[in-house]
């Protein structure tokens, strides 16, 4: 399969259709000015970062995380309208609220070897294929090509059987001009490429996940309350100063966003109406293979007693 590339004006429906079948997509030149700004703000951090070990990609690569505290332009990338619209479509079917999962630079200098291919969703102990847990974006801070370590991608692999490995001829490379973005799903097999060129390849990775999962990067430590207070409301909620759903993720028995508000509201609450509405509509997922005990007939007919925990919290 090829990696499909679309222009920034492509309809949301078309992009979602590609993500459904391929698990990946490049939107070319989606935000060149913003990405250039973010990269300029982050260059000093990249310069002073140490090469591996301990990072994802080895001796000639650098990772810099905690982008919210390092680049104002990155704030705008994180809440980019197109990305938010894709998250709404891809993540909201399986959660009441989604969150930023990871923010980091993947900077590959000449000589970087290819990263082992993997699935980001493997942080969670689920068998593949499974509902999408993560939507990942890789913004091209520089041009990406096969020679300089453009991301290795295995289109369609988000729907493969669990143990199936990729063949070399099933791997394609994310080639895209700076300012473009590669979108892929948590079930997609991918990895950083080898940089056999003589130029540096810089990617800005921002991931989003279902709001009931633990974040890969601890955003509450990366963005402590005193920093969160300075952020736009949407961004503060997105990094985790919000509920993951009704009764999920509160502090002081209340919306975590209250911690960073000027005038805390007086009423304690464990949810808000928008979350309740979404929770009530949510299809619950089967998890595991536990067979229930048979329900006795009298319980089946007693419909007036039927009860759902989340619905009741409304």
Tell whether residue 117 is a contact of other proteins (CB under 8 A). yes
Q: Residue 167, Cβ neighbours under 10 Å: how many? A: 8
Q: Which is nearer to other proteins, 262 or 312 (CB)?
A: 312
Which member of 75, 128, 200, 201 binds other proteins (CB under 8 A)?
128
Tell whether residue 57 is a contact of other proteins (CB under 8 A). no
- Report, in Å, the least distance between residue 171 CB and other proteins: 7
Tell whether residue 297 is a contact of other proteins (CB under 8 A). no
Tell whether residue 280 is a contact of other proteins (CB under 8 A). no
Q: How far apart are CA 54 and CA 164, in angstroms?
A: 28
What distances in angstroms separate CA 302 from CA 246, 298, 305, 306, one per listed residue?
Answer: 27, 6, 6, 7
Question: DSSP of 261-281, one letter per residue?
Answer: -SS--SS--S--HHHHHHHHH
Which member of 65, 82, 142, 145 binds other proteins (CB under 8 A)?
65
Selected range binding other proteins among 40-48, 173-181, 197-205, 284-292, rule: CB under 8 A: 284-292
Selected range binding other proteins among 80-88, 194-202, 230-238, 297-305, rule: CB under 8 A: 297-305
Going by the DSSP 8-state scheme, the letter that residue 228 receives in this structure is H
Q: How far apart are CA 159 and CA 136, in angstroms?
A: 16
Of 182, 194, 39, nearest in space to 111 by CA = 194
Selected range binding other proteins among 7-15, 50-58, 74-82, 140-148, rule: CB under 8 A: 50-58
Which member of 44, 47, 85, 218 binds other proteins (CB under 8 A)?
218
Contact of 189 with 56, CB cutoff 8 Å: no
For the segment 250-279, give every residue that binds other proteins (CB under 8 A): 250-253, 256, 259, 267-270, 279
């Amino acid at each position: 399969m090829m990696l499909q590339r679309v222009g920034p004006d492509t309809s949301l429906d078309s992009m979602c259709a590609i993500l459904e079948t391929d698990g990946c997509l490049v939107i070319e030149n989606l935000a060149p000015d913003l990405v250039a700004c973010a990269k300029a703000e982050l260059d000093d951090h990249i310069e002073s970062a140490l090469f591996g070990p301990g990072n994802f990609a080895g001796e000639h690569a650098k990772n810099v995380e905690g982008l919210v505290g390092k680049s104002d332009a990155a704030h705008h990338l994180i809440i980019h309208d197109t990305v938010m619209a894709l998250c709404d479509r891809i993540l909201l079917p399986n959660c009441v609220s989604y969150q930023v999962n990871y923010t980091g630079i993947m900077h590959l200098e000449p000589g970087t070897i290819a990263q082992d291919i993997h699935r980001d969703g493997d942080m969670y102990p689920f068998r593949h294929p499974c509902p999408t847990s993560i939507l990942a974006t890789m913004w091209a801070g520089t041009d990406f090509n096969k020679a300089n370590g453009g991301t290795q991608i295995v289109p369609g692999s988000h729907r493969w059987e669990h143990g199936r490995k990729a063949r070399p001829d099933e791997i394609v490379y994310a080639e895209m001009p700076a300012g473009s973005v590669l979108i892929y799903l948590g079930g997609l097999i991918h990895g950083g490429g080898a940089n056999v060129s003589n130029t540096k390849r810089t990617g800005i990775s921002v991931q989003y996940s279902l709001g009931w999962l633990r974040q890969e990067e601890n955003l509450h430590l990366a963005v402590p309350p005193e920093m969160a207070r300075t952020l736009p409301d949407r961004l503060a909620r997105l990094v985790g100063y919000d509920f993951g759903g009704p009764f999920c993720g509160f502090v002081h028995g209340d919306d975590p966003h209250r911690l960073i508000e000027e005038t805390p509201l007086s009423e304690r609450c464990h949810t808000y109406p928008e979350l309740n509405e979404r929770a009530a509509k949510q299809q619950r997922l089967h998890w595991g293979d536990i067979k229930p005990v048979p329900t006795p007939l009298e319980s089946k007919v007693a419909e007036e007693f039927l009860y759902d925990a989340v619905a009741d919290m409304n």
